[in-house]
Amino acid sequence: MTRVVRVASGQGFWGDWLEAPRRQADGGPIDYLMLDYLAEVTMSILQKQKERDPSLGYARDFIGAMESVFPAVAQRGVRVVANAGGVNPAACATAVRQAARTAGVSPNVRIGVVTGDDLLPRIDALLDDGHALANMETGEPLSTIRDRVLSANAYLGAPPIVDALRRGANVVVTGRSTDTALTMAPLLREFGWRLDDWDKLAAGIVAGHIIECGAQCSGGNCLYDWRTIPDLANVGYPIVEGHEDGTFVIYKHPNTGGRIDVHSVTEQLVYEMGDPHSYITPDVIADFTTIRLESAGPDRVRVFGITGRAPTDKLKVSIAYRAGFKALGTLVYAWPDAMDKARLADRVVRERLDRLGLQFETIHTEFLGASATHGALAGAVGDVPEVQLRIGVRGPDRKAVERFTREIAPLVLNGPPSVTGFAGGRPKVEEVVAYWPALIDKRVVTPVVTMDEP
């Protein structure tokens, strides 16, 4: 029998099911547990936490996840790869070490820490050296928002994770690694693929893309025949069974719910897809138009045929910056004529904001239950039982946004009738942290691997 490497997905974002990592570690044999915590805006949230407390700045859910899988890691040889380090991988490693001591497994836990992605301390030097860090979407140079930058991290690829595994780490904690690298690195390490074997690297990336959103490929959020997807309460998270030749099978543990078939995997493949010919990562460019899927039995899908080519000489950089303030207020209007009442209330609020002379970048109104998600495509609404009016504002002036939050509740007594649903109190003002995607030359970013041994 040919050798296989099993990489299990236990977390698709920070906020995913707390039960999933343990269920993956205990539900059947696996070699690696992959936990993805970082979305585009997560780094900025973590940066704010680190500013308040220098021992924070990582995904704290990860510590609970580690506690739940220590038996598998310390006794059964399961290795964990996670980008839980956020903007403070060293502090994350310290917290894992502490948890390992408390659990009595510290001697069996060797943590590899991947850093080098954090460009925040170097931003001015990089700009001075001619790296514009221009916005990939708008072309604007970073200098237009330089004084509002909160965090800046380059997306690192798989090689530093492979390095940590080679040095004996059984827990690898990274900062801003690509989501797909967390899956590709274990395959690269175990099969010893060459770093210019583009087709195999591309296969690793596709495997990563399929499982990086957790259950979203195993029956979660699956539109195809959704009523018949069994036992979502007990949904099984996906596992990659990787083969040396670059083919792999997506499956899940026995006795779990959900469904893995060609339909569920295809839905995940097209999720957040750009140009399918060029799925660009630091290590390889994968061609999604070459992916072949076939059923390989119940809840098993075989993936093969994938090709890739050499990557570019750039890394993507994720920059977060302060972009003003926003608030959202809601009220519910009931039958009869709920929609007309909600429309009138919206006009009243807007007229009052106008008379107060308040300036916003945008005021946005939606009618939930009528047109909030599909707009005019939803067609005419009848005399529905209720409509939720949802008004949002965004602008640079905190005081103006604050004043807006005082203009919703009064409508309960001085606006259109049949109004309710205001129990939540006054809307909260939120600072907007926006995302600025940029590119940087690879040669100026050096990944660093350090080992935290017992």
Among 277, 398, 406, 428, binds other proteins (CB under 8 A): 277
Q: Between residues 73 and 293, which has the closer beta carbon with respect to other proteins?
A: 293
203 binds other proteins (CB under 8 A): no
Q: Between residues 17 and 271, which has the closer beta carbon with respect to other proteins?
A: 271
Q: Between residues 109 and 293, which has the closer beta carbon with respect to other proteins?
A: 293
Q: Between residues 151 and 268, which has the closer beta carbon with respect to other proteins?
A: 268
* Among the residue ranges 5-13, 60-68, 218-226, 228-236, the one whose residues contact other proteins (CB under 8 A): 218-226
Q: Between residues 137 and 340, which has the closer beta carbon with respect to other proteins?
A: 137
How far is the CA of 344 from the CAs of 176, 180, 327, 417, 419, in angstroms? 47, 48, 20, 10, 12
Q: Between residues 79 and 209, which has the closer beta carbon with respect to other proteins?
A: 209
134 binds other proteins (CB under 8 A): no
Instruction: Report yes or no: 212 and 220 within 8 Å, Cβ to Cβ.
Output: no
Among 60, 97, 146, 263, binds other proteins (CB under 8 A): 263
C-alpha span between 375 and 96 (Å, rounded): 47
* Among the residue ranges 12-20, 194-202, 307-315, 359-367, the one whose residues contact other proteins (CB under 8 A): 359-367
C-alpha span between 310 and 329 (Å, rounded): 49
Torsion angle defined by CA atoms of residues 297, 298, 299 and 303, in that order, rounded to the nearest 10 degrees: 20
Binding mask 294-333 for other proteins (x = CB under 8 A): -----------x-----------------x--x-x-----
Q: Between residues 24 and 178, which has the closer beta carbon with respect to other proteins?
A: 178
Torsion angle defined by CA atoms of residues 31, 170, 180 and 189, in that order, rounded to the nearest 10 degrees: -70
Q: Between residues 323 and 334, which has the closer beta carbon with respect to other proteins?
A: 323
Instruction: Report yes or no: 87 and 153 within 8 Å, Cβ to Cβ.
Output: yes
Closest CA to 7 of 282, 237, 262: 237
The token duo for 82 is 């996670």
- Shortest approach of other proteins to residue 347 CB, angstroms? 18
Among 106, 108, 290, 307, binds other proteins (CB under 8 A): 290
C-alpha span between 200 and 187 (Å, rounded): 9
390 binds other proteins (CB under 8 A): yes
Torsion angle defined by CA atoms of residues 137, 141, 146 and 151, in that order, rounded to the nearest 10 degrees: 40
269 binds other proteins (CB under 8 A): yes
- Shortest approach of other proteins to residue 427 CB, angstroms? 12
C-alpha span between 420 and 403 (Å, rounded): 21
Q: Between residues 228 and 362, which has the closer beta carbon with respect to other proteins?
A: 362
- Shortest approach of other proteins to residue 225 CB, angstroms? 8
Among 49, 115, 177, 268, binds other proteins (CB under 8 A): 268
* Among the residue ranges 66-74, 105-113, 192-200, 426-434, the one whose residues contact other proteins (CB under 8 A): 426-434
384 binds other proteins (CB under 8 A): no
* Residue 154, H or E segment: strand 149-154
- Shortest approach of other proteins to residue 224 CB, angstroms? 4
373 binds other proteins (CB under 8 A): yes
55 binds other proteins (CB under 8 A): no
386 binds other proteins (CB under 8 A): no
- Shortest approach of other proteins to residue 267 CB, angstroms? 4
Strand order in the sheet with 79-82: 292-295, 301-304, 248-251, 239-243, 4-11, 32-35, 79-82, 171-174, 111-115, 448-452
Which amino acid is residue 163, in one-letter code? D
Q: Between residues 283 and 287, which has the closer beta carbon with respect to other proteins?
A: 287
Q: Between residues 372 and 409, which has the closer beta carbon with respect to other proteins?
A: 372
- Classified as helix, coil or strand, 144 is helix
β 32-35/79-82 pair status: parallel
C-alpha span between 393 and 324 (Å, rounded): 11
- Classified as helix, coil or strand, 225 is coil
- Shortest approach of other proteins to residue 350 CB, angstroms? 14
- Shortest approach of other proteins to residue 135 CB, angstroms? 9
164 binds other proteins (CB under 8 A): no
C-alpha span between 158 and 141 (Å, rounded): 29
DSSP state of 5: E
* Residue 126, H or E segment: helix 123-128
Which residue ranges make up the site for other proteins (CB under 8 A)?
40-41, 137, 221, 223-224, 263, 266-277, 288-293, 305, 323, 326, 328, 362, 364, 366, 368, 372-377, 390, 392-394, 432-435, 437
